[in-house]
Structure 1
């Protein structure tokens, strides 16, 4: 079985009781809300990754105000032609503050929309688990930078 490691960086941006999310389109065309962010390019620092990804996916320029934690996810996934891949994702979750720019949707990327959502409405959204992990890190701020 093939093994694949992906390191990514994401931002939790909350203002006035709302969180900024991007709508991610998976390989099968399904849409789910996620934190703005994404995979590191070879040689790129994760800090630079999160700033680049927030701007690409939302149109905003962010300032990073802290590292909230690290989330690790491992799963065996079935890919094309029934091939199995042992996928390990390491996700650095930062707290961000929007400093400039205007909200816009990404064109030609892995997301198709960006929007602010009231925090109390997030549980009703069709979302990836990372949204819950990120918001929990933001709320609880565990010393270990990890939520069980």
Structure 2
């Protein structure tokens, strides 16, 4: 079985009651909102990953204000040629504040739109689960950095 591990870092940026999101374009063309962020390059510090990815996807320069938590997902899939695969994603989630730059959309990347959304409208958006996990960590600030949404003991 092919195993794959991806480490990524994301930002929860809340300003004036609004959340900064990037619209992710899946391989099949589906578009859903996500937290700005993405995959860590080998040797890169997670905080630097988060800041680099936010700038790439939104145009903003950000500074981390807190480590909110770490989320882990696991998915199995059938690989096109070669049998089953097992994917694990380790997602490091920071709170961050805008320190500069200007809002703009990413070109040539995995997202196509960046926008601020009022917190009370986020639940109605087409979004990935990471948005809910990030907001839960931001609101609850669990001492061990684990969202109640992904904690199996809350089943």
Calculate the TM-score normalised by the size of structure 1: 0.96
What is the match of residue 77 of structure 2?
77
The ranges of structure 1 where at least 4 consecutive aligned residues each deviate by more than 6 angstroms after the TM superposition are none
For residue 120 of structure 1, give the secondary structure of its aligned residue in structure 2: helix
User: How many equivalent residue pairs?
Assistant: 148
CA offsets 1:51-94 (integer angstroms, 9 cap, x no match): 00000000000010010000000010234358432010000000
1:1-148 matches, cutoff 5 A: 1-81=1-81, 83-147=83-147, 148=151
Cα distance, 1:120–1:78 mapped onto 2, change above 3 Å: farther
In 1, Cα distance between the equivalents of 2:61 and 2:118?
21
In 1, Cα distance between the equivalents of 2:67 and 2:144?
11
In 2, Cα distance between the equivalents of 1:114 and 1:79?
32
The two structures, once aligned, show a CA RMSD in angstroms of: 1.1
In 2, Cα distance between the equivalents of 1:110 and 1:46?
19
Give unmatched runs, 5+ long, in structure 1. Answer: none
In 2, Cα distance between the equivalents of 1:133 and 1:52?
21
Give the deviation of 1:113 after TM superposition: 0.5
In 2, Cα distance between the equivalents of 1:133 and 1:31?
19
For residue 13 of structure 2, give the secondary structure of its aligned residue in structure 1: strand
Give unmatched runs, 5+ long, in structure 2. Answer: none
In 1, Cα distance between the equivalents of 2:83 and 2:115?
35
In 2, Cα distance between the equivalents of 1:11 and 1:83?
35
In 2, Cα distance between the equivalents of 1:82 and 1:18?
44
Cα distance, 1:111–1:41 mapped onto 2, change above 3 Å: same
In 1, Cα distance between the equivalents of 2:78 and 2:139?
34
